[in-house]
Structure 1
Amino acid sequence: MRWTPPVLHVRYSVDQTLHLDGRGLLLTPSHFGQGPANSLADPALPPVLVYPAGYDSTAGPVTVRALGRLMGGTRASILIATGTATTSGELARRVGVSAATVSHHLSALRAAGLLSTLQQGELILHTRTSTGSALVNAAHAEGT
């Protein structure tokens, strides 16, 4: 995807223009999607764009060690786990720490511009920013 205001360009199976008309757009990463994105555009509902979530299962252990030296193991683990949109509770479960600890680290990572938080109704999701992903990818490329 590429954002060129006021247009979001998305690789899609057909050439299509979706006018939002002020309704907003819900971006939904999917672990089950592959290939181009799909849109769900019912004029009576908010538009939804479902796209494949990127996840590199080989990056985990190497990256945690490399980033851990820079920012600490827990914070590095949280940054890695936010490669896909994730709730605080799921992060706590994945990393094996309390919700309060996750909240503390999320605040620090957000303040550093490494992750962003999106609230959709009662659902709050955290995901890496492009800067956070660049840091994870650089640490993975180092292989240490």
Structure 2
Amino acid sequence: MRLRHDERLRKALTPLRGLVPSAGYIPDLLTPGAAGDLSVSLDAIGATPRHVVASQMERLNAARHGRGGPAAGARADATDLAGVVRAFGTYFDTLLRPHLPRIRARVGADVDLRSQALLSGGVQGLLDSLAPYATWRDPVLEVDYPVSRDVTLGGRGLLLVPSFFCWRRPTAPADPGLPPTLVYPVAKPPWHLTPEGGKGASHLLGRTRAAVLEAVAGHGRPDGCTSTDIARAVGVAQSSITYQMGVLRDGGLVTSRNSGKNVIHTVTPLGRRILDGA
């Protein structure tokens, strides 16, 4: 329904459909690392050298032809990177930006979990925490990857990237010359980002308050999270978090307790039922 009535979005998706298949090879130029900022990533895509674009488009075309169909819109000699950058910007602003607080909350929760695993168990504890997606058998990390492939680090290290949009299995850059990177799925409920996902909670509590409650529930730390954690995940000011937490606490949806210099917040069973019911 959204595509039918939004001509700008429909035009933006046209070049992206040819470049991002539902399965198989995706050009590495479209995932320029964990920049942390959309504008930086889009600038990196737009600055991709032409010979790299040509090589990756040829590989994409070969993969598509191998499945019996041409790679529409992905010809090496006609790839308009400026148009691709504009398309990604439109896609993000239209479809993803409204859900950014929930996405940040889930990714932030995963980062905290991996950090705790590293602090308590060292590198082995961190790698063990990647199960069931990966298994550490010193000196090899075995990953549940779609194809058989060996990657030798050669002293370069391994960048772990939690991704909200990675499903079922981890993925990695196809070019062996790029920095070794493992992109793996973060935990998320099945209704996230669906048309009705979370809408009930937003209608009941308001969008910001619902996002705050989801951040507390999805933070991933069994002992709860601080107001700073929530503010970072939701992307609002600390003063607003203090007010919103007071309202949620008065409604019986969260509890708060002092822990040293911090106040730790946890979601109550009632709060979880509201989110689950949404």
- What band does the TM-score fall into relative to the shorter chain? 0.5 to 0.7
Paired position in structure 2 for 1:74: 208
Partner of 2:188: helix, strand, or coil? coil
Deviation per residue, 1:34-68 (Å, 9 max, x gap): xxxxxxxxxxxxxxxxxxxxx95135435433311
Q: What count of residue pairs does the alignment treat as equivalent?
A: 89
1:65 alignment partner in structure 2: 199
- Pairing of 1:1-144 with structure 2 (within 5 A): 31=113, 56-58=187-189, 59-62=191-194, 63-83=197-217, 84=219, 85-139=224-278
Contact 1:113 1:132 in 2 (8 A): yes
Q: Which amino acid aligns with 1:61?
A: L
Q: Structure 1: give runs of 5+ residues left out of the alignment.
A: 1-29, 34-54, 140-144
Q: Deviations over 1:2-26 (max 9, x none)?
A: xxxxxxxxxxxxxxxxxxxxxxxxx
**Residue type matched to 1:111 in 2?**
D
TM (norm. structure 1) is: 0.54
Normalized per residue, the structure richer in strand is 1
Change (3 A) 1:80 1:138: same
Letter in structure 2 aligned against 1:31: L
For 1:74, what is the secondary structure of its paired residue? Answer: helix
TM-score, scaled to structure 2? 0.29
How large is the RMSD of aligned CA atoms in angstroms? Answer: 2.3
Larger RCO, structures 1/2 (Cα 8 Å, 6+ apart): 1
Of structures 1 and 2, the larger Rg is shown by: 2
3-state DSSP of counterpart to 1:113: coil
Larger helix percent: 2
